[in-house]
Amino acid sequence: MTQTIKQIRHDNVTIEYIVQGTGTPIIILPSLGRGQTDYDELAVLLEKRGFKVIRPHPRGINGSQGPMTGLTLKDLAADVAMVIQAEGAPDAIVAGHALGNFIARMTASIFPRLVRGVALLAASAGKTPSGEPSIPPDVLESVTQSGNLTLNETERIAHLQKAFFAPGNDCRSWLQGWYPDMKKTQWDAWQATPIDSYFAAGTAPLLDVQAEQDTVAPRRFSSVLKTELGDRVSTTVIPNAGHALVPEQPEAVCDALADWATTLTPARESA
């Protein structure tokens, strides 16, 4: 499978991205503090299913550069929109993994004509009806510490296993691949953005791909998006997967994405 590396520039922002395949475009947005190598296998599988897979590197990785402070999720969504427009989609399915789901939902909220649908991969809803934290505080601490490169390997494995991987699944591949500066940028942008500005993802169709053993987005909150947004939300539960999801069950994620994507109407036809 052939990959092409491209760049798009606007003002003081440059976004580098990977393109492979042809067909309906699927944008993949990575998890907090991590890059696109986590999706190498998924991208190949989606390409084989007949999709054009586009993977933007977040600011701070490879050739993606721009301001890294004072941002909100609107700025990160604008980076995604810039890539969609550069590829002349004219619209795309945007799949966001973990924190990437918030950026995907923001993209659909402010650029609705560019987004055919939003796939949420191991996604926290972002809020709960009860008002309690959508991510348990002790698990959120393990999310933070998993990428803390000052900890020893044993400590990091314990955090990775608690926050990201289902019991029995090997978490060691995620000892590498962390970008601390970019992680801080994304975290700060998330904290600076009101949840209601992106919660509904505009009016786009949503696929909520849930990991059955996800501690970050626990099962007790699994119906939040469906309850709040109704029939726009389709739900698929992937067994034997935690919050990492994609490296744990790439074939199942591919099947869920591809099967749902074929049901969607182009955004400009449904607008």
For tokens 């990575």, what's the residue?
A: 30
Separation CA 168–CA 175 (nearest Å): 16
User: What single DSSP character describes residue 211?
Assistant: E
Q: What is the pLDDT of residues 88-145, one digit of tens each?
A: 878 999 999 999 999 999 999 999 999 999 999 999 999 998 888 999 999 999 999 9
Which tokens sit at 184? 């801080």
Each residue's pLDDT expressed in tens, for the chain with a length of 271 residues: 689 999 999 999 999 999 999 999 999 999 999 999 999 999 999 999 999 999 999 999 999 999 999 999 999 999 999 999 999 878 999 999 999 999 999 999 999 999 999 999 999 999 998 888 999 999 999 999 999 999 999 999 999 999 999 999 999 999 999 999 999 999 999 999 999 999 999 999 999 999 999 999 999 999 999 999 999 999 999 999 999 999 999 999 999 999 999 999 887 555 4
The rounded Cα 74 to chain-centroid distance in angstroms is 15
How much of the chain exceeds pLDDT 70, in percent? 98
Q: Hey, what domains does the chain have and what are their CATH numbers?
A: 4-270 (3.40.50.1820)
User: What are residue 52's phi and psi, to 5 degrees?
Assistant: -95, 115
What pTM does this model have?
0.96
Which tokens sit at 259? 């099967």
CA distances from 82 to 27, 228, 240, 257 (A): 12, 29, 36, 23
User: What are residue 215's phi and psi, to 5 degrees?
Assistant: -85, -20
User: What single DSSP character describes residue 220?
Assistant: G
* Per-residue pLDDT, 268: 59
Separation CA 90–CA 114 (nearest Å): 6
Q: What is the pLDDT of residues 73-99, one digit of tens each?
A: 999 999 999 999 999 878 999 999 999
* Per-residue pLDDT, 49: 97
Angle at 98 between CA 104 and CA 120, to 5 degrees: 50
Helix H or strand E encompassing 102:
helix 100-110
Separation CA 103–CA 83 (nearest Å): 14
* Per-residue pLDDT, 144: 93
CA distances from 42 to 78, 130, 163, 228, 237 (A): 24, 35, 21, 29, 17
For residue 26, the cross-strand partners are 53, 93
